[in-house]
Structure formats: structure tokens, C-alpha cells
A and B are shown apart, each in its own frame.
Chain A
Amino acid sequence: MRPFEYERATDVAHAVTLVAERPNARFLGGGTNLVDLVRRGVETPDSLVDVTGLPLAGVEEAAGGGLRVGAVVTNADLAHHPLVRTHYPLLSQAVLAGASGQLRAMATVGGNLLQRTRCPYFTDLTTACNKREPGSGCAAREGFTRYAAVLGASEHCVAVHPSDMAVALAALDARVELTSSTGVREVAVTDLYRLPGDTPQLETVLSPGELITAVVLPPPPAGRSRYRKVRDRASYAFALVSVAAVLNVEDGRITTARLALGGVAPKPWRAAAAESLLFGAEPTAEAFAAAIDAELADAKPLPGNEFKLDLTRRTVVAVLRRLHDEGATA
């Protein structure tokens, strides 16, 4: 393992100053992804600034009825929190669908959002990867594509974002608070990430040294919600396809439809085209299928992952039907 310096930040200003001052420094959260990547030589920081001791470990009701989640809250504490379980069950479900009990007890909310792709070529130093080594090529496109993207990818990179939490946050219209030495700003979770284009090494809109300090949830949307993850084994695996959905029906018409997809794109994919078709429609299986078909119209599967289109379609329809049926019998 390549050597590195380590410093424990005492407050947010200290943390952003340390990363700005130190050459090639990175923030360190729970370490469940970064420590592994450093050990493998995929990430090569000279310095790690530990942010887990910062006073950002609270889950609090926000003004206006939402929820403010500190960036170093662990995945476990977030998923188990009574306010989250009661008011944002979609978020609890998504977080619990990811990793294992041990990893959720270590991983932080900020770190979860900034975790790197699990594309096998990204972590294999013997293969070409534009994300790891810009300009080297993409071994994934003509390799093992089962986990690769079908939406939003480019000829330079087909890696998917692995977070379950981010998919639920996208469906919930969550925002991310970013702090740097020059101030504090907020961006929507869906705007936090860049599509790969010809610069797949640039994954987010974060400036160098900018730190995620909180996730802010607006009041929960009306209706029922559900996170469903389809994967190669029943637990402790990354998604082939995942769906975060919110549905509300009044007088036979859909009044709220939120849909976000995981496992299919380089970022948590908010299915805006599908949502606009669902809004105002009758909640039928045909309408659900037509909506997701519209979303997938621009999909570009690779040889070996065409199955994701049908799997996405069937999963979305099944989740929406279930939400509608539950709402009808509630």
C-alpha cells in the first residue's frame, strides 16, 4: 500500500483548509471505498483528511418540514433513524439495500454520494480505463458489460454510479450542501454528477477542496413510495437495475409520479420523460409501460446488457403497480 499522510480535521473550516493546503489530498469518510482503492493503487492520494470527527453527524428536522442530514451520519444511522423510517421510508429502503451491516455502520452519507464506480475495469490496473487514466481507452465497452450503463454513457466510459442512496435522494428532490473556503452552496443531487462525455474522470461538479457538509430533504412528497433493487444475488450485491418510485393517485388520475433509476446510468437517473407522461394519466399497467418506454427510447445498450432494458421496464411497471394497488386498498 502506497504511503500517505493522515490528518484528523477538527471543524469544517479546518478540513477544507487542510485539503486546500496539502498537495494531492483527499477527504476521508468511513473509508469503505477509498481505503480499498488506495490499497489497490487505483487512488493515489498523498494525504487523507479524516472528516468523520466533524460535527456533522446529526439528523434534524429542517425549517419548512424537511430533514437535514449531516454529511458524516453513517448509512446505518440514517436508515435506522425514526424520522427517516417514518417520513422517508424510500430512503431507508434504499440505504438498507446497499452493502452489508458492517459497511453501513462505517460508510458516511457524503462518502456514499462520492463513492467510485465498481466497473471492474476501473479497479483493474492492467486494463484501459479513461476514468482511471484519461486517454487510455475503455476496456468495458467490448468486455464484460453486464453491469455497464444503458443511459447517459459515452464512447469513452460506460461505468454506472453504484449508490442506492443517491437514487432515492434523486427521487426525493434532495439537495446537497457544499462547503469550500469561499463559502457554502447547494445543488440538487441530480446536478451533483456529470455525465462522462469525453472527460469521465470528472464525476461531479465539486470544485477541488469542496466538501459535502449536508444533504437536505424537502418535505416528503404525497403518496406511497418504494425502492426495489434487482441484482445477481439476494443481498449484498450492486444493482443490475434499481427503481425508486413515488406514486399518488387522486380521483383516478396520477397526481404525483417520481421515478429514479439506479444501475443503468453514470449517475442516479431521474426519469423525467416517464414522469411527465405519468402525471395526469390513469394509473394503468399500460400507462406505466408507456412511460418507462419513453424514458428508455434513447437507451444505448451494449452487447451483453440489452437485458437491462426489459428488466428496467418490468421492474418499473411492477413497482408502480404495487404502489397503486397498495394505495387502492389502504
Chain B
Amino acid sequence: MTETTAPPAARPVRLVVNGVPTTLELEPRVSLLDALREDLHLTGTKKGCNQGACGACTVLVDGHRIVSCLALAVQYDGREVTTIEGVGPHPLQDAFVRFDGLQCGYCTPGQICSAIGMLEEHDHGAPSAVTDDVAGPTPLTRNEIRERMSGNLCRCGAYNGIVDAIESVGTALDEEVSA
């Protein structure tokens, strides 16, 4: 495809990344993923498919998990972004090590950011596609974890360890809440 128009001018985009306010000069087509990796050199967030299918680029925006590859950075002007560099120390990080929730590790930052967002959604009572009664309570079973984490692919196939790790932390959080 020939490009007939010159790129529009860069504009200031203000982000709070891992608690640090920053202003970047970006043109509209720059994804949040590329802004984090190329401009802020936060390379913990990974580029996998770059089309929203694999979850490797998952970050938290205002506490919600999103795929940063399909996010235009300009759309997130003024928002708080948390990447894997900013989540720790978090019990999920230790749990992924303890339960072998990874092999090559490329999907791990996305898995952990996604799991943090997922546990937060679950704490707020969100049902999932495997919840039989969406109006009722939703215990965090292994089946629920698998469904809720289906947006994060692991080509090494470390899924059993990933589910073990998330289950261990999710159960601990549940006990904390009910204690």
C-alpha cells in the first residue's frame, strides 16, 4: 500500500506509568505497546502477535487489563498504566516461579498482568462464560481460572503451572477476605 499522506504531527501524550508521570511526543498510530517499549524502554511488556490474539502485551490501565498492541497511545492520554515492571513485589510473581508457570518466559509478563486484573474482576463478582448462573456467586475454580485466562496464550504449554500459580494466590486472597 502506497502512503500518499505525510504522517500527522506528533502530539503530547501524558501517561502515568508505574506511578511516574511522563509526557511523550507521539503520532496517532503509535500503539501503547510501542510507546512503552520503544519510547519508555520498558521492554518487560512483550510484542507477540501484535493483533490482540495472544495476550503477551497485557498491561493494566486504571487497574483493568487490556492488550496494549490494539491500544493507540493517544487514546490513553491522562491514564495510569501499570506494566510488569510496576506490579511487584506481587505474590503471583513468586507463585509463577514456585509452580513452574513458565518455560521460555515470553508470555509471563502478560500472564501476570492479566491474572492481577482477572483476580480484581473476580473480587468484584464478575461472572465468566463458564459460570452457570451469572447472577450468583462465582467460586474461583480451576475451570473458571482457565476460562478467565483464555486471552493469554503460552506456546510452551505451561498452562497447568499457570493455573496452579493463580489458584494458589486466588485462594489465599479468598481466605484473606473471609478471615
Indicate if the CB atoms of B134 and A3 lie closer than 8 Å. no
State the Cβ distance, A70 to closest chain B Cβ, in Å. 17
Tell whether A105 pairs with B65 under 8 Å between CB atoms, given A80-B121, A80-B127, A100-B151.
yes
A-binding segment of B16-24, B71-79, B85-93, B98-106? B71-79
Interface residue ranges of B101-139 to A (CB < 8 Å): 114, 117-118, 121, 124-129, 131, 133-135
Is A35 positioned at the interface, with any CB of B under 8 Å from its CB? yes
Tell whether A102 pairs with B126 under 8 Å between CB atoms, given A3-B7, A28-B75, A36-B51.
no
Tell whether A6 pairs with B72 under 8 Å between CB atoms, given A41-B1, A101-B148, A236-B150.
yes
Is A97 positioned at the interface, with any CB of B under 8 Å from its CB? yes
Q: Report which of A3, A48, A236 forms a contact with B151, defined as CB distance below 8 A.
A: A236
Name the residue of chain A whose CB is nearest to the CB of B133. A89
Name the B residues within 8 Å of A306 (CB-CB).
none
Q: Which of the listed residues B118, B121, B129 has the most CB atoms from chain A within 10 Å of its own CB?
A: B129
Indicate if the CB atoms of A80 and B125 lie closer than 8 Å. yes
Indicate if the CB atoms of A31 and B75 lie closer than 8 Å. yes
Interface residue ranges of B1-47 to A (CB < 8 Å): 1, 3, 5-8, 27-29, 31
Name the B residues within 8 Å of A126 (CB-CB).
none
- Number of B residues near A (Cβ < 8 Å) is 46
Name the B residues within 8 Å of A44 (CB-CB).
1
The digit string for B141-179, where 1 denotes a CB below 8 A from any CB of A, is 000001111111000000000000000000000000000
Is A50 positioned at the interface, with any CB of B under 8 Å from its CB? yes
Is A124 positioned at the interface, with any CB of B under 8 Å from its CB? no
Indicate if the CB atoms of A80 and B126 lie closer than 8 Å. yes
Is A10 positioned at the interface, with any CB of B under 8 Å from its CB? no
Indicate if the CB atoms of A48 and B28 lie closer than 8 Å. yes
Indicate if the CB atoms of B127 and A79 lie closer than 8 Å. yes
Name the A residues within 8 Å of B75 (CB-CB).
6, 8, 28, 31, 50, 52
Name the B residues within 8 Å of A5 (CB-CB).
8, 28
Interface residue ranges of A92-146 to B (CB < 8 Å): 92-93, 96-97, 99-103, 105-106, 125
Name the B residues within 8 Å of A100 (CB-CB).
55, 150-152
**Chain A contact surface mostly:** mixed
- Taken together as a complex, chains A and B put the C-alpha atoms of A45 and B124 apart, in Å, by 38
Indicate if the CB atoms of B28 and A6 lie closer than 8 Å. yes
The digit string for A287-318, where 1 denotes a CB below 8 A from any CB of B, is 00000000000000000000000000000000
Is B66 positioned at the interface, with any CB of A under 8 Å from its CB? yes
Name the residue of chain B whose CB is nearest to the CB of A6. B28
State the Cβ distance, A273 to closest chain B Cβ, in Å. 29
Indicate if the CB atoms of B128 and A96 lie closer than 8 Å. yes
Q: Report which of A31, A89, A101, A236 forms a contact with B71, defined as CB distance below 8 A.
A: A31
Is A328 positioned at the interface, with any CB of B under 8 Å from its CB? no
Indicate if the CB atoms of B127 and A96 lie closer than 8 Å. yes
Name the B residues within 8 Å of A39 (CB-CB).
50-51
Tell whether A97 pairs with B129 under 8 Å between CB atoms, given A32-B52, A85-B134, A85-B135.
yes
State the Cβ distance, B145 to closest chain A Cβ, in Å. 11
Indicate if the CB atoms of A106 and B29 lie closer than 8 Å. no
- Taken together as a complex, chains A and B put the C-alpha atoms of A102 and B147 apart, in Å, by 12
Indicate if the CB atoms of A102 and B67 lie closer than 8 Å. yes
State the Cβ distance, B131 to closest chain A Cβ, in Å. 8
State the Cβ distance, B62 to closest chain A Cβ, in Å. 10
Tell whether A105 pairs with B8 under 8 Å between CB atoms, given A85-B134, A235-B129.
no
Indicate if the CB atoms of A96 and B134 lie closer than 8 Å. yes
Q: List 5 A-B contacts (CB under 8 A).
A: A8-B77, A35-B71, A39-B50, A40-B51, A105-B65
